[in-house]
Amino acid sequence: MLDLGIGTGRTTYTFAPLAGEYEGIDYVPEMIELARGLVSENEHIRLQVGDARRLTELFERSFDLILFSFNGIDAAGHEERLEMLHQVRSRLSDGGLFCFSAHSAHCLPLEKPGLTLDVGHPLRSAYRSARAMQLRKRVKRVNAGVDVPGLHARGWGLVADGSHGFEERWYYVTAEEQVRQLEEAGFAPIEVLRNDGIAIDPSAPGRDPWLHYLCGPGNAYRQLG
């Protein structure tokens, strides 16, 4: 198994004991050090600083399962994302699986949270109302900064969605565009799943804030490395 963007080791803790051979990488050295404090390395479990755009430089062998969880792929720009997909395809074994999640452009514009009152618990009600008002301001700011029709027409866009104090922009993509990117990179078949694990039609994905993609290797792709 190759685990991309492991962060502090949340997925490492889960999958490393289950995989016969586990390789975990992250772009940030400090994250790898934290992950090493959570899971001990041995001959079957290895963690290292690595770039998902440079997999052919890191590994000569292929993997049966490649995972990019928690929308980690969305931290990259458009061209970098396409390169990552090609790199993953080049290191996926015959019969292997690639699984990742991505922010869904179909949730845009964001919906304002409703205000709920609990007359039996006034303090709880006041806290929830204050929190909802903060979220409504955030949603308004996000929506004001996004050309939603243009993003939907193109199929993808970078959105300052409020995380990290609006200092970061994340890649949002339509399901149909993401499937197209995967097919171009040489993946097939491709499944699109909601957060509850139900497979959906990419042309009618609903408004889940992110979607999961599960795919295997197609017959033709651009060989790298």
Any domain includes 125: no
Any domain includes 117: no
- Please give the full DSSP string across 59-79, using - where no structure is assigned: -SS-EEEEEE-TTGGGGS-HH
Any domain includes 141: no
Range of the domain at 201: 2-105+169-217
pLDDT 10s digits, 45-84? 999 999 999 999 999 999 999 999 999 999 999 999 999 9
Any domain includes 151: no
Please tell me whether the overall predicted TM-score, pTM, comes out greater than 0.85 for this model.
yes
Any domain includes 94: yes
**CATH code, domain carrying 200:** 3.40.50.150
Any domain includes 158: no
pLDDT of residue 220: 47
Any domain includes 137: no
Count the domains in the chain: 1
The count of residues in the chain is: 225
Query: Among 108, 107, 106, 109, which residue's Cα sits nearest to residue 202?
Result: 106
Any domain includes 59: yes
- What are the respective helix, strand and coil percentages of the chain, to the nearest 5? 40, 25, 35
What is the Cα–Cα distance from 176 to 114, expressed in whole angstroms? 30
Query: Among 195, 202, 199, 206, which residue's Cα sits nearest to residue 177?
Result: 202
Going from the first residue of the chain to its last (225 residues), give the mean pLDDT of each consecutive group of 10, the final group possibly shorter.
96 95 97 95 97 96 97 96 98 96 96 72 76 79 91 96 81 98 96 95 95 87 42
